Structure 1
Amino acid sequence: MLRRVLLAAPALLALPGIARAQAWPQRDLRLIVPFPPGGTTDVVARMLAGAMRERIGRAVVVENQPGAGSTTAAGRFAREADDHALFLSQIASHAIGPALFPNLPYDPERDFRAVTLVVTVPNVWVANARNVPGGDVRALLRDARARPMIRTFASAGNGTSTHLTGELIAQLARAPMQHVPYRGAGPGMAAVMGGEVDTFIDNLPTAIPQIRAGTVVALAVTSRARLPDLPDVPALSELGEEFGLAGFEAEAWFGLHAHRSAPDAVVDSMADAARAALADPGFVRQLAERGTQARGGPPADYAALVAAERIRWRDVVRQGNIRAD
């Protein structure tokens, strides 16, 4: 009997992920967040970590590793094989970064394995009411066409998703505007409130308080349709053929990636735990209250989204001749 077991062991271990799947997770998980504590990315990560813990019976410990627009943490993650680690990937690390930085310390496709899409976050285009009377987005774009590079839009920084969203709007609408980068969303919002710039593109969760307070006026949202939080604010897609924005959609997104060395069974277990959390009505409601929408889906779907986004923003960078500072 012992001889039979020993002879059978190699064949059993050769089956895809059987031994690891039965043992995983053997310890607590790490969730690498490539931004400082306190922002939308960090808040979503900590909520997800708590929800996943209930489903895998192990803690999911959030590690904040900010630097270089998320590329520092992504490079470190790619070098450290760990099938008990997850990376909170987003538009900066896996779509925009590869377009802006030709010598990244990682390959977003080769060094990572997609797990699942976690949330999407729409952007909102806000303006100083004195600089854009009535918050008329059509009048603003027509003026930008008539006076190229006179109108200004701020962003949270050069090469950020809010910057490239503004560039994409300007390219499609044939309405050249001057980009003014700031060091973060807070300074950008302060600049538009003070009238230093005409407009500012920001993530919905951080912009809503100022919109509701009346310190800025919302011009349009970048989701395909209007949002329940701002039902009277048009989606840019409504502007139609006149501005080349029919069907326009540009949202920030966060998802999970595993290290390239993680076996199929482990990736599937990670995805199952995350999707179970994202299907919980209470968790979905908490995300919605913060202006984000729970997503989920299989690893292949997330991999396809990331690949498409990488091509999309690469083209925006090339057409706008955008360079990283």
Structure 2
Amino acid sequence: MTKAELGRRGLLAAGAAALAAPALAQAAWPNRDLRMIVPFPPGGTTDVVARLVAQAMRDRLGRAVVVENQPGAGSTTAAGRFAREGDDHAMFVSQIASHGIAPALYRNLTYNAETDFRALTLMVTVPNVWVANPGKVPGGDVRAFLRDAKARPGMRNFASAGNGTSTHLTGELINQQTGAGLQHVPYRGAGPGMVAVMGGEVDTFIDNLPTALPQIRAGTVLPLAVTSAVRLPELPDVPALAELGAEFNLVGFSAEAWFGLHTHRSASDAVVQRMGDAARSALSDPAMQAQLAERGTQPRPVPSAEYAALVTAELARWRQVVQQGNILVQ
């Protein structure tokens, strides 16, 4: 064999080794335990969903997925910290607060919801339910309530878990589409808001389904409507707002809380694929879906690109609501 032939073989071998190196490195991922950042305290819906998915992902990745609770500033503190880290063994539990509403409300966020993260998958959606004090809305008739509100602008109200929350902006979206002229009454959390509507301090309250169901079943509040596109199996006799149709400009109405997973923008395509596959596999398991349904959430595993598109669409939607309603949060 000539020196030229040996040289060519050497170059080919070197090229093959160079191509194989990333594959070998990728095959070793994950090479340590993973982290899943939950930007809320333990015990809430976000935390419960995250822990179920983290446990199931461990079985699929062969490494522990450690949940870290990092509450603060409605999820934006943890989101900003995560965006600055750059760890391809970490995931962030993204949701309507951090990746839908906060960018619409705040100009000085320390992260960009679209460019500082890579989408992995949507995990679950959580519908809202609009409830009323029985004495304020006899029979829980949502049509009668909205007609009365439109006839007397500013005289009827809805409460929420606080300024800038998803329940606040859902109520504002209802206001904008129906022209009902409802007054917003913010509370410091869902618990105080529910107490207020039960006691007749406010007419109505918009809450996430899982936390509202016990009071609905106890009869202390009446369900007016759900904000999902269709009726829910938990409340089959309660209309979806979309059913109110053209009279109230609610054809096709849907507004739900959602929770998903993102990783760092620096993560490779292969890592994003493997993380996303593990999460989607976990969420598609029938036993997992049953556990999530018991908690009032609806499993929604989707491809990474589809979740990224949802975030983009939600950002645009809530910016429009904020701008149209001239909503300011201190």
TM-score by length of 1: 0.96
Q: Is the 8 A contact 1:124 1:204 kept in 2?
A: yes
Give the C-alpha shift of residue 85 in structure 1.
Answer: 0.2
What residue is the counterpart of 1:253 in the other structure? 258
Greater CA drift, 1-10 or 235-244: 1-10
CA distance in 1, matches of 2:262, 2:14: 36
- Determine whether 1:191 maps to 2:196: yes
CA distance in 1, matches of 2:206, 2:44: 16
Give the C-alpha shift of residue 8 in structure 1.
Answer: 3.7
1:169-318, aligned counterparts within 5 Å? 169-318=174-323
CA distance in 2, matches of 1:179, 1:63: 34
Give the C-alpha shift of residue 143 in structure 1.
Answer: 1.2
Give the C-alpha shift of residue 150 in structure 1.
Answer: 1.5
Give the C-alpha shift of residue 12 in structure 1.
Answer: 3.1
One-letter code of the match for 1:142?
R
- Determine whether 1:37 maps to 2:42: yes
- Determine whether 1:61 maps to 2:69: no
CA distance in 1, matches of 2:180, 2:289: 37
Q: Which has the larger radius of gyration?
A: 2
For structure 2, list consecutive stretches of 5 or more residues without a partner in the other structure: 1-5
One-letter code of the match for 1:12?
A
CA distance in 2, matches of 1:274, 1:19: 23
What residue is the counterpart of 1:12 in the other structure? 20
What residue is the counterpart of 1:113 in the other structure? 118
What residue is the counterpart of 2:3 in the other structure? none
CA distance in 2, matches of 1:287, 1:86: 20
RMSD: 1.4
Give the C-alpha shift of residue 20 in structure 1.
Answer: 3.6
TM-score by length of 2: 0.95
CA distance in 1, matches of 2:270, 2:78: 25
How many residues of Structure 1 are paired with residues of Structure 2 in the alignment? 322
Give the C-alpha shift of residue 10 in structure 1.
Answer: 2.7
Give the C-alpha shift of residue 149 in structure 1.
Answer: 1.6
CA offsets 1:230-279 (integer angstroms, 9 cap, x no match): 00101000000000001110000000001000000000000110011011
Other structure's SS at 1:76 match: helix
CA distance in 2, matches of 1:3, 1:53: 42
CA distance in 1, matches of 2:235, 2:74: 29
Q: Is the 8 A contact 1:117 1:295 kept in 2?
A: yes
CA distance in 1, matches of 2:243, 2:14: 67
